[in-house]
Amino acid sequence: MIVSETLAAVLRSGRETFNSQFAQARRQYPALDVVSFSAFLVAVVDPLVRAVAQMRPEQVAEVTMHAYETGLTLAGQRLVGSGARYPEISDGLCRIGVAAPTLFAEAPGVMLASVSNALHTLASTPGGRAAEWIEEMVRLANVATGSAEFLRAGQIVAWRSGLAHYRTGALSVGDTLPEKVALAAIGANNGATWTGVRDRLAADPWHTPGNVASSLRIVGRAGAFRGYGGLFTEPPQVAPYGDDFMVRSAGEYWLLTANAFGATFHRAAEAEWRSVSGQPPVPPSLKIQRGKVTWQNASVDLPLRGEISSAAANATTLALSSTTSHSIWLIALGVAK
Amino acid sequence: MPIFDIFQRVSAAPTNPQPQARARVFDVADLYRGPVAEAPDQTAEGALPLDEKLRQAYFWIVNTAIISPHYDIEYHEPPPQSFVLGDSRSRLTLPSAQSYSSFVLMPLLTFATRRKCLFTGGPGRGKTASALLMGVLAGYPVREVRRAMVHGHPQMTIADLLGNPLPADLVAAQNMDAIRIAWRRWLSLRVKIVDEYNRIPTRTQSALLTVMGDNYAELLDHIHECPEAAWFLTANDDLGGGTYPVIEALRDRIDVVVQALAFNSRFLEDLLTRIEENIRPEEVVPRQIVFSEAELDRAQQEIRAVELPAPVRRRLEFFTSQFEFCESAGEQFEYKTKDTVRLAGVEWHTITAQETGRDRLKDLGCQTRNGFSVRVLMTLILYAKAIAYFRGNSTVELEDLRQILPFVLHDKLTADPDAPFFEQQDNAVYRTDRVGWLRKLWDLSCADYDRLNLDKDDPVGELSEEFQRGLEGLTESEVNRRITRIERVIAEWAKGRKLYGHLYDDLLKLKYLHQRYTNYLRWLKTQ
């Protein structure tokens, strides 16, 4: 294992403690592998410690200790190292750590845990785009002025990176951030105001900053056949569920949340599905006929194959499923002007 | 505290995820929750629901403290897989839902409900260690719990048990009030542990009975009021192996009996770790699972609030009714009970010899020599609520009753080993397996209940419901109609049915209703 002299010095000085921690972690996580953990030290801890040493040398030991513990936890659960389930975690910790050493030096325990957990959440949620979150967080490292601000901004970025179900929470978090940081997190240009951007995003779930489209249009597909990494073993059916949708496939149930930044599925119970069955799936004025959706004098052609097996609409979105597809088509109904 | 201390690990909530619909609230703060714990110490009181905290305590005990890899309290959601093994065709069932070890769960429920639990089993099986853990869960330092533990021995006096008068006062006092008593520390604890209680001399047992039954201690006309407490008693052999026989009243005060099951040699490695780490589990109880007095009070209230639905209660009524009835015990209807026989001191077999006509194999009442008391029924209901609460439910399920019943009735329902049921080849095992026998009794009772279609065809239930609506404003003709209906039901039953326990209880209930209506009618006629 080749690491920088900075990290090696800290490891040497606390050799007994670090070895004891490793032994204890091994008992808790029998899968903890020396090779994987060493790889984490080299690939993640070393660059982070070197970056911290340049900016806040007095915090090197503290950061090393926390990074060491985090590494043991992650390697013990096979989340980093060779054969890791989510390589995005190592990659993200390394890149964000190098980009934001002062923030890690300021609150090493919180930052290491939070960033690791966020990367885990993004990587393990179908539809989450961890790579996008990493890119944006690297960019935000120069915008945020403290670790707490940085992590709050990260919640907005997580929504933008596919975690659609965080929309309401992320908009609230934006209200607590300095305007510059909030706008950077949501991806709006500097000329905008947070209030303006926020109001548009709150009114229309299919709005993205800088995009003017607001009419009836196909906005995406969610879900796929399980054999291709999706959730469904047979074509799903949809039903309206407040601002979201309930989905059923082969006796399994999910809640689907969808907006401009992504779509996520969450396990649901049969009782939830039953609670929505019987509700009118779409408003009477919404017409779905001969491969076309018509709504308020606008229409859009559907690229679906096969018969439409179910349709469900809420105030902003129409969800459609067909007999031959394992995906759910999402159509933005547009916002009344 | 090192973050990788395996003895401090508490299972993450929720420990028993429920499939039912939850409120859908997505918290953006969840983004930063995951495999890396930022602050593992969740000590804020009230941070978790108390049923969750109880489950965490349970899982910490089974995973870390007491090596009890037994799942004898089995729950199933989809039908379980089971296998038949060996010459005796033993059935091994793999539970399909979260199941529990009675040796840990029963003491924990006793702790939460502040009742009394007896641990039985051979020496060195963790009985005392389990009791100690309960003391630590109540927030007492290990040393204090150890020191306050009562150790039964043949020379134990009442003073040893309760306390001593101060010697100076004994000499100087002019009256009894002036004698101060140094009460024993254990009397003031909210967890009381009596080790090897069957080694305590009979006279001292009587003093213990006062504390257990009435929650106060008395010495030289001085009274010491004890706080409400959970009791844990241990006995190496509860069936006669102790130095002194346990007085019946003391035994009756014990709410549940739990057996320490044998150590599974496949878990020797866990013992090895303890030796190497020099760890005593009771000394490393995580703070997150320690309960304050207020939390225990609240848990008790929440347990009592768990609903016992009428259909479940009805099955319990039916089960209970099977055992007290003894047709040949008395001439008057009300005295046809096993308690009449017991009080008369008549040999049991002389009574059973007189039993004719009924199918003694099918009559569940023939399997026992007694029925059970009101205290037992109350205990049964409370523990059924407690296990439902522990599982995170707001209502008691039938299976909760089935699982809890053997531990409550363990020492309360006395089997008649000469009953025809035990003579059957497949049933001989129930002479030794008391828990299995009690569950079998419950299952047979439920099967009988279904056969009689009592959920749908229950005239006594209908009449009771009618009566429950009150007598206020009832007309004479309506009362007469109800009296006639009661008489008709009894006449119908008198035609051909043999008398069984459940019919006996129903008939007494009908007599009660008849009497209440008769009295009311009499009053009505004077108006």
- HSE-up of residue A323 (Cα within 13 Å, Cβ side): 4
- In angstroms, rounded to a whole number, what is the distance separating the alpha carbons of residues A263 and A258? 4
Residue B191 in contact with residue B138, Cβ under 8 Å? yes
- In angstroms, rounded to a whole number, what is the distance separating the alpha carbons of residues A2 and A306? 59
What is the model's pLDDT at position A336?
Answer: 55
Residue B3 in contact with residue B40, Cβ under 8 Å? yes
Q: Which of B458, B495, B487 is nearest to B317 (CA)?
A: B458
CA separation, residue B105 to residues A244, B7, B317, B402 (Å):
41, 19, 25, 15
> In the predicted model, what is the mean pLDDT of residues A79-96?
91
Better-predicted residue by pLDDT, A117 or A306? A117
Chain B: residue nearest A268 by CA?
A: B21
Chain B within 8 Å of A277 (Cβ-Cβ)?
A: no
B21/A269 CB distance under 8 A: yes
Give Cα B56 to chain centroid, integer Å. 21
Q: Provide the residue type at B143 as one letter.
A: R
A73/B36 CB distance under 8 A: yes
* Contact residues on chain B for A168, CB-CB shorter than 8 A: 26
**In chain B, what is the straight-line distance between the N-terminal and C-terminal CA atoms, in Å?**
79
Instruction: Give me the percent of chain A exceeding a pLDDT of 70.
Output: 99
- In angstroms, rounded to a whole number, what is the distance separating the alpha carbons of residues B409 and B401? 11
And the tokens for B291?
Answer: 């309960």
Instruction: Give me the percent of chain B exceeding a pLDDT of 90.
Output: 50
**Tokens 């009908």 map to which residue?**
B510
Give B3→chain A minimum CA distance, Å.
Answer: 8
- In angstroms, rounded to a whole number, what is the distance separating the alpha carbons of residues B339 and B341? 5
What is the model's pLDDT at position B242?
Answer: 61
- In angstroms, rounded to a whole number, what is the distance separating the alpha carbons of residues B298 and A13? 50
* Contact residues on chain A for B273, CB-CB shorter than 8 A: 27
- In angstroms, rounded to a whole number, what is the distance separating the alpha carbons of residues B294 and A169? 34
Numbers of helices and strands, H then E, in chain A: 14, 11
Give Cα B201 to chain centroid, integer Å. 26
Chain B: residue nearest A256 by CA?
A: B24
CB atoms within 10 A of CB B496: 6
Chain B within 8 Å of A330 (Cβ-Cβ)?
A: no
B31/A154 CB distance under 8 A: yes
What are the tens digits of pLDDT across the range B92-129?
A: 999 999 999 999 999 999 999 999 999 998 888 888 88
A27/B4 CB distance under 8 A: yes
CB atoms within 10 A of CB B12: 11
- In angstroms, rounded to a whole number, what is the distance separating the alpha carbons of residues A182 and A209? 12
Q: How does A120-145 read in b/e, with b if 16+ C-beta sit within 10 Å?
A: bbbbbbebbbbebbbbbbeebbebbe
> In the predicted model, what is the mean pLDDT of residues A4-13?
93
Residue A50 in contact with residue A6, Cβ under 8 Å? yes
> In the predicted model, what is the mean pLDDT of residues A246-266?
93
Chain A within 8 Å of B224 (Cβ-Cβ)?
A: no
- In angstroms, rounded to a whole number, what is the distance separating the alpha carbons of residues B160 and B151? 10
DSSP-derived 3-state class of residue B327? helix
What is the model's pLDDT at position B46?
Answer: 45
And the tokens for B356?
Answer: 């004719």
What are phi and psi for residue B28, nearest 5 degrees?
A: -65, -20
What are the tens digits of pLDDT across the range B120-147?
A: 988 888 888 899 999 999 999 989 999 9
* Residues A117, A123, A127, A131, CA torsion sign: positive
B28/A70 CB distance under 8 A: no
Contacts of A95 (CB under 8 A, 6+ apart): A134, A138
A73/B21 CB distance under 8 A: no
What are the tens digits of pLDDT across the range B9-53?
A: 777 777 776 655 455 778 888 899 888 876 444 434 446 789 999
* Contact residues on chain A for B38, CB-CB shorter than 8 A: 109-110, 113-114, 117
What are phi and psi for residue B119, nearest 5 degrees?
A: -95, 130
What is the model's pLDDT at position B237?
Answer: 66
Chain B within 8 Å of A271 (Cβ-Cβ)?
A: yes
B31/A121 CB distance under 8 A: yes
CA separation, residue B455 to residues B448, B449, B467 (Å):
12, 8, 19
A289 burial class (0-12, 13-18, 19+ CB within 10 angstroms)? exposed
Q: List the single range of A148-157, B270-279, B436-445, B470-479 with lowest mean pLDDT.
A: B270-279
Interface of B with A in 14-53 (CB under 8 A): 19-22, 24, 26-38
Better-predicted residue by pLDDT, B496 or B517? B517
Residue B65 in contact with residue B282, Cβ under 8 Å? yes
Calculate the average pLDDT of chain B: 87
B34/A69 CB distance under 8 A: no
DSSP-derived 3-state class of residue A128? coil
Quote the DSSP letter at residue B227: P
Chain A within 8 Å of B225 (Cβ-Cβ)?
A: no
Give B270→chain A minimum CA distance, Å.
Answer: 11
What is the model's pLDDT at position B449?
Answer: 95
A117/B20 CB distance under 8 A: no
Pairs across A and B, CB distance < 8 A: 91
* Residue B5 banded pLDDT, cuts 50, 70, 90: low
Measured torsion, CA atoms of residues B117, B122, B125, B129, in degrees rounded to the nearest 10: 40
DSSP for B353-399, written as a single string: TT--SS-TTT-GGGGBS----HHHHHHHHHHHHHHHHHTT-SB--HH
DSSP-derived 3-state class of residue B261? coil
B21/A121 CB distance under 8 A: no
> In the predicted model, what is the mean pLDDT of residues B466-470?
90
Chain A within 8 Å of B83 (Cβ-Cβ)?
A: no
What are phi and psi for residue A319, nearest 5 degrees?
A: -115, 135
Chain B within 8 Å of A25 (Cβ-Cβ)?
A: yes
- In angstroms, rounded to a whole number, what is the distance separating the alpha carbons of residues B496 and B132? 58
Q: Which of B163, B177, B249 is nearest to B214 (CA)?
A: B249
Angle at B390 between CA B98 and CA B297, to 5 degrees: 165
Q: How much is the CA Rg of chain B, to the nearest whole Å?
A: 27
B4/A151 CB distance under 8 A: no
Chain A: residue nearest B63 by CA?
A: A28
Q: Is residue B185 predicted with pLDDT exceeding 50? A: yes
Q: Is residue A172 predicted with pLDDT exceeding 80? A: yes
Chain B: residue nearest A124 by CA?
A: B34
* Residue B382 banded pLDDT, cuts 50, 70, 90: very high
- In angstroms, rounded to a whole number, what is the distance separating the alpha carbons of residues B281 and B518? 64
Q: Is residue B1 predicted with pLDDT exceeding 50? A: no
Quote the DSSP letter at residue A126: T
Give A219→chain B minimum CA distance, Å.
Answer: 23
B36/A121 CB distance under 8 A: no
**Tokens 């108390």 map to which residue?**
B50
State the DSSP H helix or E strand holding residue A265, giving kind and residue range, or none if neither.
strand A262-267
A8 burial class (0-12, 13-18, 19+ CB within 10 angstroms)? middle
- HSE-up of residue A336 (Cα within 13 Å, Cβ side): 3
Is pTM, for the whole model, over 0.90? no
DSSP-derived 3-state class of residue A316? coil
* Residues B445, B451, B457, B463, CA torsion sign: negative
Nearest to B21 among A121, A244, A275 (CB): A275
Q: List the single range of A129-133, B267-271, B409-413 with lowest mean pLDDT.
A: B267-271
Better-predicted residue by pLDDT, A285 or A133? A133
Give B25→chain A minimum CA distance, Å.
Answer: 9
* Contact residues on chain A for B26, CB-CB shorter than 8 A: 165-166, 168-169, 257
Nearest to A255 among B20, B24, B38 (CB): B24
Q: How does A169-205 read in b/e, with b if 16+ C-beta sit within 10 Å?
A: bbbebbeebeeebbbbbbbbeeebebeebbebbeebb
Interface of A with B in 231-260 (CB under 8 A): 242, 244, 255, 257
Q: Provide the residue type at A198 as one letter.
A: R
* Contact residues on chain A for B5, CB-CB shorter than 8 A: 24
Taking each helix axis from N to C terminus, what angle separates A87-99 and A130-140, rounded to the nearest 10 degrees? 10
Give A207→chain B minimum CA distance, Å.
Answer: 20
B2/A21 CB distance under 8 A: yes
Interface of A with B in 118-157 (CB under 8 A): 118, 120-121, 151, 154-155
Chain B: residue nearest A172 by CA?
A: B28
As a residue count, chain B comes to 527
Nearest to A166 among B4, B19, B28 (CB): B28
What is the model's pLDDT at position B4?
Answer: 61
And the tokens for B501?
Answer: 């326990």
* Contact residues on chain B for A172, CB-CB shorter than 8 A: 28
> In the predicted model, what is the mean pLDDT of residues B505-515?
95
What is the model's pLDDT at position B311?
Answer: 93
Which residue out of A18, A40, A112, A120 would a mutagenesis test of the B interface target, given it has the greatest number of B Cβ atoms within 10 Å? A120
Q: Which of B456, B452, B461, B314 is nearest to B396 (CA)?
A: B314
Q: How much is the CA Rg of chain A, to the nearest whole Å?
A: 23
B3/A69 CB distance under 8 A: yes
Calculate the average pLDDT of chain A: 90
Chain B: residue nearest A24 by CA?
A: B4
